Amino acid sequence: MMVNTNNLVSLTEANRNFSKVARLVDEHGSAVILKNNTPRYLVIEFSQAESVQEADDDDLMKISKRLIDKNRVAYEVLAK
């Protein structure tokens, strides 16, 4: 996942000034809250949550096919 460094906010700053986090989400579509200098939380607009959460059926089929192809030998052994 690519993280825009302009969207980073420390947990302390987010606690003190959540309106800054909301403003970043409004301007850039998301904000990343850091805990101990490590990305820990992602804040997005509620309307985007469903599209982020659900994978497209075509994507799932591609991933499944790739995993089956990659692990075909193991699946064949398990099928015996």
Number of independent structural domains in the chain? 2
pLDDT in tens, 27-60: 998 999 999 999 999 999 888 877 666 667 777 7
Q: Is 72 inside a domain boundary?
A: yes
DSSP H/E element including 49: helix 46-53
Beta-carbon neighbour count of residue 9 at 10 Å? Answer: 19
Q: Is 67 inside a domain boundary?
A: yes
Rounded to two decimals, the pTM is 0.59
Does pLDDT of 62 surpass 80? yes
Does pLDDT of 1 surpass 60? no
Residues 34 and 15 in one domain: yes
Strand order of the β-sheet with 8-10 is 8-10, 30-35, 38-44
Residues 2 and 27 in one domain: yes
Q: At 74, is the secondary structure helix, strand, or coil?
A: helix
- For residue 39, give its domain range: 1-44
CATH of the domain at 31: 3.40.1620
